[in-house]
A and B are shown apart, each in its own frame.
Chain A
Amino acid sequence: MKISRTNIYTTNQTSMTVDSDADSLQDITNVNTGDFSTAYTSAGTASSFNFAANLSGGTINYVAVAGHTYGSGGGGILRLIINGTIIQNVTFAAGSKNDVIMFTFDQVDVATSIRLLFFKNIDADKVTVTYVSAGITLSLGSQNSEPGGYSRNWLTDSKKVRAQVNDAGAPVAYIRERIARQATLNIDNVNISVTNANQWRQFLDRVYEQGDFFIKENDGSNLADNPLSSYMCFDAQVAPPKAHPDTRQLNNLQITFKTYTGH
């Protein structure tokens, strides 16, 4: 599991460019905030949608994209390029359901360019991107994974459904509604060096000042890497770390939040 703790995509950004499939009526800086009322939608006139953020530097080991439509329409291949180096390719099948993707990779100490290049199977497909975040993830030492019983929200639809039945008790209508699922992440036995360190403070700043963070569950350390196993978290409440009942060297953490998976 990876949890984002910083976001330098906007703070260290010097400029943005759309290098193919640009729509002159759209503003690419709309992707800088987690405000889902604005987004950038490409023109649908080129074989690839290619945009980049130029940075003044900064350390990153993740890039996350939320509210995207890479999987809609004919699908294609999304390539992450940092400082001109290809980091990873992810294939989106036509019509695949995914709205949030989080790449994690070996730390890049001085990031000057983050490019997202989407090769479309159908040139006319427009691609929407709502929010991009990039920075460093939270390192919880030996407890860097979700506990047993943790709800894997990316593996379900964020919906609830009610069914209407007839007198025979048989269904006659279904109404579904998208929801922001509530989740609680409990991580026990975290060494106090983690919560005492600056990275914990950075995580809290991310949570309370930007309002969101990302989680990727299958990060490749002990599970097959899967950038699609990601979701955006918001409306978070971070409980004060609680001292372990047996030793003061450990803390127990609890974070409650809502999730956005987009489907």
Chain B
Amino acid sequence: MSFATNALALNQEHFTVVELSLPSFLSTDTCTLADYEGDFFNFITSNNEVFYTSENREFKVLNDDGYYTPLTCDQAYVGTRKQSYYFGTENVPVQYGRPPTSSPPVGTYDIQEPIHPVIISVSETVTELQPGKGLSIQGSATIVFRDFVGDPGPVTTSPFGTYFGKLNARNILTNKVIEIRQNHVQGDNIYTLGDEQIRFYYIESFKQNANGTWTMNCKDLMALLDFDKTQFPKPTGGSLRTAINNTTTTIPVDALTDWSQTSTPYVIRVGDELMKVLSVANNQTATAALTVATRNGQITFDSPTILLSRTEFDEHDLGDAVQICYTSHDQDIDEFLEAVFLDAGFSSSNLPTSDWATEIDEWHPNDKINMIWHEPTASRDVVNQVCTNFLLDMWYDPVATDVKLSAISVWQESGALVEEGKQINQNTFRIVPQDKMRFSRAFISYNKPYKVRNDDIENYRAISVNINAAPESNGQYEEPKTKEFKSSPIIGSNAAALLTQRTTARFGYTPEMYTWETEEKFLNYSTGDIVDITTSARQGFDGRPSTVRGQILSVQPVYDIGRKYRTKALTYEAAFTTGATFTINENSNNINLHTFVGAPSSVVNVTIVVDGATITSNNALSPAVIAGGFAPGSVITLIFINNAQFQSAGGIGGAGGFCAIEYAPASVINAPGGAGGSGGTVYAAQGIETNIYLGGTIDTYTALGTLYAPGGGGGGEDGQGTAPSTAIGGDGGGGGAGNIFGAGGTGGTAVNGTSNTRRWRR
């Protein structure tokens, strides 16, 4: 039976096996050890006998076999052979790894190596999501082994010492994979890969304790992102071969750096200046040079044309560092993250990028990254910034060995029901309010024209603010509580608006942290899932058990009698479920309602109360308010209260008609005046059904508001010439009325012609 099937059994028995795979030479390989204990080597017979000299010193030889590990052989380890070592908890059945019959099912484990039942304890601190804070807490595991007299080989053995002492001496265990295999005792004594849940970790350290035990500390794969391991972009270490002035576009560079490691065009940073490299000449020679675009203070990439950064051109000296930058030009978020993870050494098999793309396409379809990554930064910090700015959760799943990405959890539907007495062990449910995470307001500064400058506020041009008014109102918290995001050079206005809106929507009320214990039989959720939790520990208004939605932050196995799981979850306040109500109570202009409510991807029915606010547009071509990207079939209800208003800009006036005069034969031509422009649109439904209430009573609201239709621009006057001697152009039309008036039309032109020419001009 599979692990999942076994886990459903009423009565279960668990045990754990750990497999360690280490690089090893074959017994048929040559493995000699030429430098061990100074100039001499222990001489040990095949019967593990040691000889002593007449002076009672151990007999040693000048050469000896190594121990067939890369560390104990002079020969280079070029193969891929691995030696597996198995360890188990003391309750490993004798039958594990030993098929009970000579014709077992395909895939049955038949383990020839010893399975040492010497595991004293296994403890895991699993990855834990940090909603709103970016990357999850890294997972780790600690395994304690009891040492014993033995030899790990894999080929040569020694009668001295202990098993783990020699294992540690002969191998470099750091960064080697270790598999923690969770098992159930099988009634048929057949154990296969499918019967196990394998959790993959990487060894960080292996140390001997004072009491004859050894402790192995392990980390999950996310450790590759740590600063002391990888930076993004990697330091390239190039330099200028000679000094340059502030205009030259031929940049002499050193001969060692590979300047073609990135395809052109790419960006380099020299001092505080960014330059766009168009081509590389004489790469890795004494005359290596880069041809850069005109140093006009702008780094622009085409298709689509985007100004990625402004820069200040300057003179530079011989030896100045030249860093090759990573350029994000209209780059999808998931593609950028993939690039960072691959650069950090992750295998593509660990990155389910199609799943990432699906998430990003659903929740950030219009958000791209435009950035020049000019300074080597810990890869973890780079990923963390992206996750924070786009409200992404990322974590490593040690079972699937995947890096998971959840684009925005506030919109997920519940996937499981968690009930007391089943998923929640009796009397284990705890609630801890997290008031530190409550934010009714959020803001972030963005739009940093000069990407190289520091992150002081003066280097940012725009700010996005969102206020969730309800929690601040009388009778509720009665105070604002504001989340200030670190200024971001990578997000645009849409992403900034989503970030602040989604933050206040999810964290407007004090989140609650829930913890409980679950038996393996009832474990029907995993990290990142959204669940409905029903427990008497959380009472509703009427005192009965209430159901609350939570996001699973971590599911940690703990070992008591067998396994059980300690779960952490956080209140999951969806930005809204269908039928939710939002309030606009601040004056603003050019609002996208879809973005305002958090960009739901599914069909929703949403009510938006415009409370005393005036929403305008300063451009007749841009509606004051648009429905935005709601899924077809959605319904928007707009309720205006307290004299709320939508206005827009007036239309521009039409141009006056010109007057042209012809002398031979004499005639006067008066062109008609131009038509005035239409007044701006106050609300563009864009195909989404919208109900608008400007008066009357709707639900608990007394509607009172106005949609002001802006005036169109006046038409231009026709040319007013009456005779060859009186050429008069028409007057321009007046601009239409609106929250701002439309521009007036230009006057018509009076033109004197010649007998053979006509000049038509406005």
**Chain A interface residues toward B at CB < 8 A:** 25-26, 35-39, 41, 43-45, 67, 69, 72-73, 99, 122, 124-126, 128, 130, 159-162, 164-168, 172-180, 262
With an 8 A cutoff between CB atoms, is B415 at the interface?
A: no
- Tell me how far the C-beta of B283 lies from the nearest C-beta in chain A, rounded to whole angstroms: 56
Contact between chains at B421 and A175 (CB < 8 Å): no
Assess A175 versus B94: contact at CB under 8 Å? Given A126-B101, A164-B426, A167-B421.
no
Q: Which residues of A contact B695 (CB under 8 A)?
A: none
Can you spell out 19 A-B residue pairs with CB atoms less than 8 angstroms apart?
A35-B114, A39-B94, A44-B99, A44-B101, A99-B94, A124-B103, A125-B102, A126-B99, A162-B560, A166-B421, A166-B426, A172-B421, A173-B519, A175-B13, A175-B519, A176-B562, A177-B91, A179-B91, A180-B90
Of the candidates B102, B426, B522, the one having the most CB atoms from chain A within 10 angstroms of its own CB is B102
With an 8 A cutoff between CB atoms, is B473 at the interface?
A: no
CA distance A6 to B395 in the complex (A): 57
Q: Which residues of B contact A26 (CB under 8 A)?
A: 112
CA distance A176 to B185 in the complex (A): 10
By beta carbon, the residue of chain B nearest A26 is B112
Assess A175 versus B561: contact at CB under 8 Å? Given A25-B112, A36-B94, A39-B94.
yes
CA distance A25 to B426 in the complex (A): 50
CA distance A35 to B114 in the complex (A): 10
Q: Per-position contact with A for B551-574: 1 when CB-CB < 8 Å, else 0?
A: 000000000111110000000000
- Tell me how far the C-beta of A255 lies from the nearest C-beta in chain B, rounded to whole angstroms: 21
Contact between chains at A176 and B11 (CB < 8 Å): yes
Contact of B100 among A45, A125, A173 (CB under 8 A): A125
Of the candidates B99, B116, B421, the one having the most CB atoms from chain A within 10 angstroms of its own CB is B421
Contact between chains at B101 and A177 (CB < 8 Å): no
Q: Which 6 A-B pairs have the closest CB atoms?
A: A44-B102, A166-B421, A175-B562, A178-B91, A37-B116, A37-B114
Q: Which residues of A contact B150 (CB under 8 A)?
A: 35
Interface contacts beyond A37-B117, A172-B519, A176-B561: sample of 5 additional A-B pairs, CB < 8 Å, sorted by A = A37-B116, A122-B101, A159-B13, A166-B420, A176-B562
Q: Per-position contact with A for B94-131: 1 when CB-CB < 8 Å, else 0?
A: 11001111110000000010111110000000000000
- Tell me how far the C-beta of A51 lies from the nearest C-beta in chain B, rounded to whole angstroms: 16
CA distance A114 to B373 in the complex (A): 76
With an 8 A cutoff between CB atoms, is B366 at the interface?
A: no
- Tell me how far the C-beta of B9 lies from the nearest C-beta in chain A, rounded to whole angstroms: 9
- Tell me how far the C-beta of B335 lies from the nearest C-beta in chain A, rounded to whole angstroms: 45
Q: Which residues of A contact B13 (CB under 8 A)?
A: 159, 175-178
Q: Which residues of B contact A173 (CB under 8 A)?
A: 10, 12, 519, 521-522
Contact between chains at B561 and A177 (CB < 8 Å): yes
CA distance A175 to B519 in the complex (A): 9
CA distance A39 to B95 in the complex (A): 10
Contact between chains at B94 and A69 (CB < 8 Å): yes
Contact of B14 among A124, A177, A262 (CB under 8 A): A177
Contact between chains at B14 and A126 (CB < 8 Å): no
Contact between chains at A128 and B98 (CB < 8 Å): yes
Assess A130 versus B562: contact at CB under 8 Å? Given A37-B117, A124-B101.
no
Kindly identify, within residues 523 to 564 of chain B, every residue whose CB is under 8 Å from any CB belonging to chain A: 536, 560-564
CA distance A178 to B95 in the complex (A): 14
Q: Which residues of B contact A25 (CB under 8 A)?
A: 112
- Tell me how far the C-beta of B695 lies from the nearest C-beta in chain A, rounded to whole angstroms: 53
With an 8 A cutoff between CB atoms, is B189 at the interface?
A: yes
Assess A72 versus B560: contact at CB under 8 Å? Given A125-B101, A130-B94, A167-B420.
no
- Tell me how far the C-beta of B575 lies from the nearest C-beta in chain A, rounded to whole angstroms: 34
Contact between chains at B98 and A39 (CB < 8 Å): yes
Q: Which residues of B contact A122 (CB under 8 A)?
A: 101
CA distance A61 to B691 in the complex (A): 97
Q: Which residues of A contact B116 (CB under 8 A)?
A: 37
Kindly identify, within residues 136 to 185 of chain B, every residue whose CB is under 8 Å from any CB belonging to chain A: 150
Q: Which residues of B contact A126 (CB under 8 A)?
A: 98-102
Assess A164 versus B95: contact at CB under 8 Å? Given A37-B116, A126-B101.
no
CA distance A37 to B91 in the complex (A): 11
Q: Which residues of A contact B520 (CB under 8 A)?
A: 175
CA distance A128 to B425 in the complex (A): 39
Kindly identify, within residues 34 to 56 of chain B, every residue whose CB is under 8 Å from any CB belonging to chain A: none
Q: Which residues of A contact B563 (CB under 8 A)?
A: 175
Of the candidates A44, A179, A262, the one having the most CB atoms from chain B within 10 angstroms of its own CB is A44
Contact between chains at B101 and A73 (CB < 8 Å): yes
Q: Which residues of B contact A176 (CB under 8 A)?
A: 11-13, 561-562
- Tell me how far the C-beta of B557 lies from the nearest C-beta in chain A, rounded to whole angstroms: 12
Contact of B561 among A35, A41, A69, A160 (CB under 8 A): A160
With an 8 A cutoff between CB atoms, is B422 at the interface?
A: yes
Contact between chains at A36 and B117 (CB < 8 Å): yes
CA distance A46 to B521 in the complex (A): 40
Q: Which residues of A contact B560 (CB under 8 A)?
A: 162, 175
By beta carbon, the residue of chain A nearest B92 is A36
- Tell me how far the C-beta of A182 lies from the nearest C-beta in chain B, rounded to whole angstroms: 14
Contact of B519 among A159, A164, A167 (CB under 8 A): A164
By beta carbon, the residue of chain A nearest B563 is A175
Assess A166 versus B422: contact at CB under 8 Å? Given A99-B94, A126-B101.
yes
Q: Which residues of A contact B112 (CB under 8 A)?
A: 25-26
CA distance A162 to B166 in the complex (A): 39
CA distance A172 to B94 in the complex (A): 29
Assess A165 versus B426: contact at CB under 8 Å? Given A125-B100, A128-B98, A174-B12.
yes
CA distance A57 to B159 in the complex (A): 28
Contact between chains at B426 and A167 (CB < 8 Å): yes
CA distance A69 to B116 in the complex (A): 19
- Tell me how far the C-beta of A251 lies from the nearest C-beta in chain B, rounded to whole angstroms: 33
CA distance A59 to B371 in the complex (A): 85
Q: Which residues of B contact A159 (CB under 8 A)?
A: 13
Q: Which residues of A contact B95 (CB under 8 A)?
A: 69, 72, 128
Kindly identify, within residues 549 to 606 of chain B, every residue whose CB is under 8 Å from any CB belonging to chain A: 560-564
Contact between chains at A45 and B102 (CB < 8 Å): yes
Contact of A164 among B14, B94, B425 (CB under 8 A): B425
Q: Which residues of A contact B91 (CB under 8 A)?
A: 177-179
Contact between chains at A175 and B100 (CB < 8 Å): no
- Tell me how far the C-beta of B561 lies from the nearest C-beta in chain A, rounded to whole angstroms: 4
Q: Which residues of B contact A177 (CB under 8 A)?
A: 13-14, 91, 561-562
CA distance A164 to B561 in the complex (A): 12
By beta carbon, the residue of chain B nearest A44 is B102
Q: Which residues of B contact A179 (CB under 8 A)?
A: 91
Q: Which residues of A contact B90 (CB under 8 A)?
A: 178, 180
- Tell me how far the C-beta of B112 lies from the nearest C-beta in chain A, rounded to whole angstroms: 6
Kindly identify, within residues 339 to 384 of chain B, every residue whose CB is under 8 Å from any CB belonging to chain A: none
Contact of B94 among A43, A73, A128 (CB under 8 A): A128
CA distance A45 to B521 in the complex (A): 38
Q: Which residues of B contact A39 (CB under 8 A)?
A: 94, 98
- Tell me how far the C-beta of A41 lies from the nearest C-beta in chain B, rounded to whole angstroms: 5
Contact between chains at B189 and A37 (CB < 8 Å): no
- Tell me how far the C-beta of B98 lies from the nearest C-beta in chain A, rounded to whole angstroms: 5
Q: Which residues of B contact A43 (CB under 8 A)?
A: 102
Kindly identify, within residues 1 to 25 of chain B, every residue whose CB is under 8 Å from any CB belonging to chain A: 10-15
CA distance A186 to B103 in the complex (A): 48
Of the candidates A36, A37, A122, A125, the one having the most CB atoms from chain B within 10 angstroms of its own CB is A37
Q: Which residues of B contact A128 (CB under 8 A)?
A: 94-95, 98
CA distance A166 to B425 in the complex (A): 7
- Tell me how far the C-beta of B536 lies from the nearest C-beta in chain A, rounded to whole angstroms: 8
Contact between chains at B519 and A161 (CB < 8 Å): no
By beta carbon, the residue of chain A nearest B189 is A72
By beta carbon, the residue of chain B nearest A45 is B102
Q: Which residues of A contact B420 (CB under 8 A)?
A: 166-167
Q: Which residues of B contact A174 (CB under 8 A)?
A: 10-12
- Tell me how far the C-beta of A100 lies from the nearest C-beta in chain B, rounded to whole angstroms: 11
- Tell me how far the C-beta of A1 lies from the nearest C-beta in chain B, rounded to whole angstroms: 25
By beta carbon, the residue of chain A nearest B564 is A175
By beta carbon, the residue of chain A nearest B94 is A67
- Tell me how far the C-beta of B53 lies from the nearest C-beta in chain A, rounded to whole angstroms: 30
By beta carbon, the residue of chain B nearest A176 is B13
- Tell me how far the C-beta of A79 lies from the nearest C-beta in chain B, rounded to whole angstroms: 21
